[in-house]
Amino acid sequence: MNIFHDDIERTHFLLLLQEGLHRYGHKVHAFCLMNNHVHLVIQVGTTDLSKIMQNLSFRYTRWFNSRQKRMGHLFQGRFKAILVDEDSYLLELVRYTHLNPIRIGLVEKVIDYLWSSHRAYMGLETLPWLECDIVLSRFSSDLNHARCVYEDFVLSALNEKRKDEFHSGAQDSRVLGDDYFAEQILKEIGEEKRTLALDDCIEKVCDFYKLQSDDLSRAGSQRLPSEARSVVAYLMKEYGKESLTNIAKHFHRDVSTLSGAIHNLEVRMSECPSVRDKVEGLRTIITP
């Protein structure tokens, strides 16, 4: 479904995006607002990307629902994120982001699309919160010359088709870079991150919810055990050593049922601050 119906909604989304920069200290190198999704090139600071995106999607959904007199979630589940090697892929990724409207035929010239950061890169709009300097400085130290060379760089890829690596990574669905970069990242923040044992996660979640571990495996769909079971699956998906299949077997559930529970929890987290705060609180308990 469309997440933007008019320019008022697009403008408000960009306002919330800008406000988030002051709150969380990250940078936005590029953006492109499409009708039913958004592309963002973000460089995080000390705040996790999950928190940044959850805040942005929650605030926009709440405002959008009020304006459209509707209820329910707006964004479909968790956002898709790929960690990109700045040295190898930043320029290509920014170009690819700006060419999205051309790729699906919304405009004939990239400069004509009003809802991406390309016009700001070309000096036709002023967005003080947008980080253009890092990309443009790769082309020239002279700003005007950099813009000319950058424009040639973008136009040289007008006929490029969809690049799967910018949607699912290359060596790993989470990472896009050369072999060394991917290996180092997966070692430092990927594989080492997945150290949580299922029994430990269940114990800490049950302590939090004041439940017994057996409660999570019993038949039925009581609200509190169901929510706790969903939280365990969600945290294990991010930090755990066990596969979703093994977790489902432990709880005597189907994998599809547990996967659906994770999705529903992610939706609730994006819409309800109390649920999000509860899960974030548990995240701090189970991680060092």
pTM: 0.62
* C-alpha span between 181 and 88 (Å, rounded): 10
Q: Is 275 exposed, middle or buried (0-12, 13-18, 19+ CB in 10 A)?
A: middle
**Mean pLDDT estimate for the chain:** 85
Instruction: Read off the pLDDT of residues 201-218 as tens digits, 9 standing for 90 and up.
Output: 999 999 999 999 999 998
Q: Are 132 and 117 in contact (CB under 8 A)?
A: yes
Average pLDDT over residues 68-73: 86
Residue 31 binned pLDDT confidence (cut-offs 50, 70, 90)? very high
What architecture does CATH give domain 198-286?
A: Orthogonal Bundle (1.10)
Residue 240: per-residue pLDDT: 80
> What pLDDT shows up at residue 35?
93
Mean pLDDT confidence for 131-142: 95
Q: What is the mean pLDDT of residues 280-285?
A: 83
The answer to whether domain 7-190 and domain 198-286 are alike in fold is no
Domain limits of the chain? 7-190, 198-286
Mean pLDDT of 115-134: 96
Spatial distance between the Cα atoms of 4 and 7, rounded to a whole number of angstroms: 8
Using one digit for the tens of pLDDT, what is the confidence trace for 226-243?
999 999 998 888 778 787
Instruction: Report the topology of domain 7-190.
Output: Alpha-Beta Plaits (3.30.70)
| pLDDT recorded at residue 170 | 42
pLDDT number for residue 266: 84
